[in-house]
Amino acid sequence: MAAASPEIERLISLLSKLPGLGPRSARRAALALLKRREQLLTPLALALADAAEKVRSCSVCGSPDTQDPCSVCSDRSRDATLVCVVEEAGGLWAMERGASYRGRYHVLGGLLSALDGVGPDSLRIGELVSRVGAGEVREVILALPATVDGQTTAHYLAERLAASGVSVTSLARGVPVGGELDWLDDGTIAQALRARRPA
Amino acid sequence: MRAALTRLTLTDFRSYARGELALTGGAVFLFGPNGAGKTNLLEAVSFLAPGRGLRGAAATEVGRREPGEGEGEGRPWAVAAVLSDADGETRVGTGAEPDTARRRVRIEGEPVPPGRLSDLVRLVWLTPQQDRLFLEGGSERRRFLDRLVFADQPRHAAAVSAYEKAIRERTRLLTDGPNDPEWLNALEAQAAEAGAVLATARHKTLTALQAEIDARSERPFPQAGLSLSEDWHSEGSGERLREALARGRARDAAAGRALSGPHRTDLLVNLREKDRPAAEGSTGEQKALVLNLVLAQAARLARDPEAPAPILLLDEVAAHLDPARRAALFDEITALGLQTFLTGTDRSLFEGLFGRGQGVRVEGGALEPENG
Ligand SMILES: Nc1ncnc2c1ncn2[C@@H]1O[C@H](COP(=O)(O)OP(=O)(O)OP(=O)(O)O)[C@@H](O)[C@H]1O
Ligand SMILES: [Mg+2]
Ligand SMILES: [Zn+2]
């Protein structure tokens, strides 16, 4: 079998870096793109270029958006005294789908994990502490996964925020252990939000 | 009918290119020469529970390889079974591709996470490696203990892995830094919470198992006196563990591992009659002691109406037992009515099961059920 051209190899190797795609599925994805040039490959390339050019992290909450501050942070109807901390933007989108939350967000950009070399400085924890220190926030809701990393991060944040005097709560479990926020249905999220408890 | 496998199909699993077996439930004795594939068949069944099976093998290791093919060259393999119980039949399947470490599981054709298997199948096994259980270091016994607990309380596995993960994270932080007290506090809180849960589960299973063993005193098997070397389960142990971890930081950093906690707990086993540590018993006594423990576990699990009846895998169990104990074993598994797979090199070892169980000759990569 002749080797694929370097352009195709590069496409495959980049695709295989996406979460959920191993080398095998990356090859299949690349093939699907190349076969459907007009419908898929070109529009995707344009969408990627567009996103790369326009999308930025919100300087307040860290979520990706084309405007800064993002649409949530600049929406004056949303309660600025309430901040919900999520691991990644996926958690934010999941909460927004639930449509029962009217506060703001803070995207950490990951979870503490010594084994993976992710410490407090690699996450947007300092930003959270100063945001809370600025005074407007009254409650921080920790919506982090019920995994060891998630709960360690929650515990750590509760301790770091203790001095500020804000109330720190977490989503009630009802959320299955090991559960990722983006996989929950809207009803579960709404319920977990109502039953939040002191962290 | 108690939960039993009524059909088993192996595809490219270990030495089997393809193996098929129709079963009736109850005792199944597999006999054939060394290397014929008897233990491989038991291992295949053991993959119908979550985890790494009775040899502790990775999913990538067990695909069939031709002579000369190296590790990682195994074929994609599958083990499929029909599980029958009072509610009818369920199709269960598992397998893996050589390049993905993760084992796939299907129930009724639907992909499901492996953990779901514990709703359907519970396994209790005994292998010749466990003959050395009392002579080896504590880690083997701890694994044995945790498997007993896991079969009893499936959620135990989640507590064990959460605890181990929190401890690994903490060790990494202690050895490689940064020295961040709040981060360490957070990890120790996680470890303490999961550690107390897992220790409590161990204690609960052990207490129940001891009661079961005590109730079996008339059987011709030596009885075990069971205890844990450390108490991380009684009231307030979570807090105690958290304090112990916090106090032990400097020491653990120097050692490069955590020196206290339930991951160090040993299962202590005494030979009741002689009031001596099990390690001092004869080879046959030790084997019979573990066997009795495993049978007690099976008998206890079998009474739980909420969970599937256990299936027993007893590898080479007949060989070391004297005739009286062998007869008692066969009587007992017949009385329990649980599906039980036994192996041995000679058909004659299973004479006591003739007419009460199903014989299968294993030879040359093939499975031949005996008639009648
Ligand atoms: N991945 C594999 N592919 C092909 N053959 C394998 C693989 N793994 C193990 N085997 C073969 O399986 C055989 C061992 O089978 P098994 O352990 O089931 O034997 P057994 O019948 O239990 O024998 P004994 O009576 O000695 O316990 C060995 O000959 C080994 O080479
Ligand atoms: Mg064997
Ligand atoms: Zn924002």
B73 Cα: distance to centroid of ligand 3 (angstroms): 50
Measured between alpha carbons, how far is B22 from B232 in angstroms, rounded to an integer? 46
Give the A:B interface size as CB pairs under 8 Å.
56
- From B176, B178, B187, residue closest to A152, measured CB to CB: B187
**Is A152 domain-assigned?**
yes
Using DSSP's 3-state secondary structure scheme, residue B88 falls into strand
B34 Cα: distance to centroid of ligand 2 (angstroms): 7
Q: Measured between CB atoms, does B244 come within 8 Å of chain A?
A: no
Measured between alpha carbons, how far is B110 from B112 in angstroms, rounded to an integer? 6
A144 Cα: distance to centroid of ligand 3 (angstroms): 18
Encode pLDDT of A90-103 as tens digits: 999 999 988 889 99
CA angle at B117 for the pair B111 and B123, rounded to the nearest 5°:
150
Q: Do A159 and B190 touch (CB under 8 A)?
A: no
The protein residue with its alpha carbon nearest to ligand 1, atom 27, reads: B34
B14 Cα: distance to centroid of ligand 1 (angstroms): 7
Closest ligand (CA of A70): 3
User: Which tokens sit at B265?
Assistant: 């707990």
**Residue B124 bridge partners (DSSP):** B312
User: What percentage of chain B exceeds 90 in pLDDT?
Assistant: 72
**Is A78 domain-assigned?**
yes
DSSP B286: H
**Ligand 1: which of B12, B13, B39 to mutate, most ligand atoms within 8 Å of CB?**
B39
Q: What is the mean pLDDT of each run of 10 residues along chain B (372 residues)?
A: 89 95 94 96 96 91 89 87 91 87 90 90 91 88 92 87 96 93 96 94 95 89 93 93 97 96 95 90 89 93 88 91 92 93 95 94 92 62
**Is A192 domain-assigned?**
no
Encode pLDDT of B12-48 as tens digits: 999 999 999 999 989 999 999 999 999 999 999 999 9
Ligand 1-lining residues (CB < 6 angstroms): B 14-15, 32, 34-40, 62, 64-65, 74, 345
Instruction: Residue B4: name the closest of B337, B271, B298 by CA.
Output: B337
CATH of the domain at A128: 3.40.1360.10
Encode pLDDT of A23-82 as tens digits: 888 999 999 999 999 999 999 999 999 999 999 999 999 999 999 999 999 999 999 999
Measured between alpha carbons, how far is A30 from A14 in angstroms, rounded to an integer? 10
- From A115, A155, A159, residue closest to B172, measured CB to CB: A115
A99 Cα: distance to centroid of ligand 3 (angstroms): 17
The closest-lying atom of ligand 1 relative to the alpha carbon of residue B32 is 21
Question: What residues in B contact A119, CB-CB < 8 Å?
Answer: 178, 180, 183
pTM: 0.81
**Is A44 domain-assigned?**
no
- Mean pLDDT value of segment A168-186: 66
DSSP A39: I
Q: Measured between CB atoms, does B187 come within 8 Å of chain A?
A: yes
Encode pLDDT of B173-225 as tens digits: 999 989 999 999 999 999 999 999 999 999 999 999 999 999 988 888 999 99
Pairing of strands B276-277, B267-271: antiparallel
* pLDDT for position A22: 79
* pLDDT for position A1: 47
Q: With bands split at pLDDT 50, 70 and 90, how would you rate the model's confidence at A187?
A: low
Interface of A with B in 39-58 (CB under 8 A): none
User: Which tokens sit at B174?
Assistant: 């202690």
Q: Measured between CB atoms, does B182 come within 8 Å of chain A?
A: yes
**Protein residues within 5 Å, CB atom, of ion ligand 3:** A 58, 60-61, 69-70, 73
Range(s) of the domain holding residue A132: 71-170
Q: At what angle do helices A23-35 and A6-15 cross, to 10 degrees?
A: 120
Distance from CA of B344 to the nearest CA of A (A): 42
Measured between alpha carbons, how far is A24 from A22 in angstroms, rounded to an integer? 5
Q: Measured between CB atoms, does A170 come within 8 Å of chain B?
A: no
**Is A186 domain-assigned?**
no
Interface of A with B in 77-136 (CB under 8 A): 112-115, 119-120
* pLDDT for position B151: 85
**Is A81 domain-assigned?**
yes
The closest-lying atom of ligand 1 relative to the alpha carbon of residue B62 is 1
Element (H, E) at B20: strand B16-22
A71 Cα: distance to centroid of ligand 3 (angstroms): 7
Contact B258, B187 (CB under 8 A): no
The protein residue with its alpha carbon nearest to ligand 1, atom 12, reads: B15
Distance from CA of B202 to the nearest CA of A (A): 20
CA distances (Å), B351 to each of A83, B344, B360, in order? Answer: 72, 12, 13
- Mean pLDDT value of segment A5-9: 91
Measured between alpha carbons, how far is B143 from B125 in angstroms, rounded to an integer? 13
Question: What residues in B contact A22, CB-CB < 8 Å?
Answer: 99-100
* pLDDT for position B130: 86
Q: Measured between CB atoms, does A151 come within 8 Å of chain B?
A: yes
**Is A166 domain-assigned?**
yes
Contact B49, B117 (CB under 8 A): yes
Hunting for tokens 């992290």 — which residue is that?
Answer: A57
Pairing of strands A79-86, A139-143: parallel
Phi, psi of B31 (to 5 degrees): -135, 155
Pairing of strands A167-170, A197-198: antiparallel
Domain tally, chain A:
1
Measured between alpha carbons, how far is A4 from B277 in angstroms, rounded to an integer? 65
* pLDDT for position B315: 96
* pLDDT for position A176: 53
**Is A79 domain-assigned?**
yes
* pLDDT for position B102: 83
